[in-house]
Amino acid sequence: MRVSLRWLGLFLVLFSFESQSSIEVKVRLTPQPSDLIAQLDLEDYVKAVVAAEMPALWPLEALKAQAVAARSYAAAQMKRHQGDDYELTASTKDQVFSLKTLKSIQMDKKKWASVIKAVNATRGMILTDAEGEPYWAYYHADCGGHTEQPKDVWGNQQESGTTDDEGCSLRAPWSVTLDQNALGKDLAVISPVSHGIKAIKVIEKTGSGRVTKLEIRGLEGVITVSGEDLRRLIGFEKLKSALFTVHRRQDTFVFQGTGHGHGVGLCQMGARYWAAQGKTFQEILTHYYPTAQLSHMKPLDGTTSVRRLAKAARLSEEKR
Ligand SMILES: [Zn+2]
C-alpha cells in the first residue's frame, strides 16, 4: 500500500507498504473545497470504497460483486479523466472514500477480513461494454423491486438492461409527509410559482414505475419537474427514491414509495439477498448488468482487455 498526497503542488508520502498493483488512481478528497488529491493503488482504493459502501458483515459474494462494480466505475472515470489532476472525487458524487477508512483496513485486518478477501478475490476484474471499454457500473441501496435504465434517470447514457428483484419488492414502503409551505420553499429554487402549492400530480413514469414528470400547481401557475429533480430539491434522504405515489392530506402532501437510491445497476439489498440464496458474484453481476461482461483490467495504462472470465447464468429472465 502506498498513498501519496498532493497539496498545492507538494507531494507527501503518507504511508508506504508493499505495492499491490501497477494501476494507480487519483482521488480528490473531501470535504470541499479541498486541494488535496490522494494517489494510491487502485486495489487499495476499492477496499476503502467497498468498506464504506457495503456493510462488511454482508455475504462474501455480495461484497465481491460490489468490489467489481466499484472498480468498474473507477476504471470508467479513470478513462474519462486520463491526464487530469484527479479522476474521482471522494464523495457520493462518485464513490465514498476516505483515508481514515483505508488506514483502518490496513491496521485492523481482522475487522475488515471479508472486505479484503472480496477485493483480493476479484483483483483487477471489471465490467466492460461490447467495445471492451470500462462499464459505468452504477449501483444503489435498494431497487424497491425493479431496477432502472440510466437514460431514464440521467438522460443520454449507455444502454443497460433492467431487472426485477423479488427480495426487494417485499419490503414495507416508506412514507414521508411534507407540509405544503415547506415544500413550496424547497421548490422556490426553481420557480416562485410553487408558492402556495395546491396540487401535485404524477404525469409520467418509466417502465419500472419511477416518476419522471410531476405537475405542481401553485397559486400563481403550474410547473413540471422530474422525479429525480424533486428528490434533489427535497433531499435524497427524505424522498428516498423516485418510485413513489403522492397524495394531498389537508395542508400536507404524503409521498409513499419503495426503494432507496436512483435504481440504476446493482442493487445492494438485492445483491445481499441473492448472495444469501447461494448465488455467485458473477451471477449477481450478470443479473444487474445483463449487457456487460466480466473482464480483466490491463495494467499500466488503465485500459482494459476483453478476456472474458465467465459467462454466468441469468438469475431471472424477467428483464425489460
Ligand atoms: Zn433490489
- CA-to-CA distance for 34 and 86, rounded, in angstroms? 12
Look at residue 296 in the predicted model and tell me its pLDDT.
92
- CA separation for the pair 177, 93 (Å, rounded): 27
Ligand 1 centroid distance, CA of 126 (Å): 21
pLDDT reported for residue 37: 87
**What is the Å distance from ligand 1's center to 75 Cα?**
24
| Distance in angstroms (rounded) separating the CA atoms of residues 5 and 250 | 55
- Residue 190 Cα, ligand 1 centroid: separation in angstroms? 32
Q: What is the mean pLDDT of residues 111-126?
A: 97
Separation between Cα atoms, residue 179 and residue 298, nearest integer Å:
53
What is the value of pTM for the model shown?
0.85
| Ligand 1 centre distance from Cα of residue 170 (Å) | 10
Backbone angles phi, psi at 291, to 5 degrees: -95, 0
DSSP 7-47: ETTEEEEEEE-----S-EEEEE-SSSS---EEEEEHHHHHH
Cβ neighbors of 263 (< 8 A, separation 6 or more) are: 140, 143, 144, 146, 147, 148, 153, 208, 210, 241, 242, 243
C-alpha 125 to ligand 1 mean position (Å): 23
Residue 141 CB coordination number (10 Å): 18
Q: Picking from 3-7, 38-42, 48-52, 171-175, which range would have the lowest pLDDT averaged per residue?
A: 3-7
User: How many angstroms separate the alpha carbon of residue 172 from the centre of ligand 1?
Assistant: 13
From ligand 1's centre to the CA of 269, what distance in Å?
6
* Tens digit of each residue's pLDDT (9 = 90 or more) over 39-71: 999 999 999 999 999 999 999 999 999 999 999
| Average pLDDT of the residues in 143-154 | 89
Residue pair 61/123 in contact by the 8 Å Cβ criterion: no
Write the pLDDT tens digit of every residue in 187-227: 888 877 666 788 999 999 998 899 999 999 988 888 899 99
Q: Which residues are CB-contacts of 278 (< 8 A; sequence separation ≥ 6)?
A: none
Torsions phi, psi for 203 (to 5 deg): -115, -10
- Residue 295 CA, ligand 1 centroid: distance in Å: 24
Above 90 in pLDDT, residue 12? no
> pLDDT per residue over 300-319, tens digit each?
444 333 333 333 333 433 33
Q: Which residues surround ligand 1, an ion (CB under 5 A)?
A: 143, 165, 168, 267, 270
Q: Are strands 266-267 and 139-140 parallel, antiparallel or unpaired?
A: parallel
Residue 229 CB coordination number (10 Å): 16
Distance 74 CA to ligand 1 centre (A): 22
Ligand 1 centroid–CA 259 distance in Å is 8
Q: Distance, CA 274 to ligand 1 centroid (Å)?
A: 10
Domain spans, the chain = 2-167+262-296, 174-257
| 220-265 pLDDT tens trace | 888 899 998 999 999 999 999 999 999 999 999 999 999 999 999 9
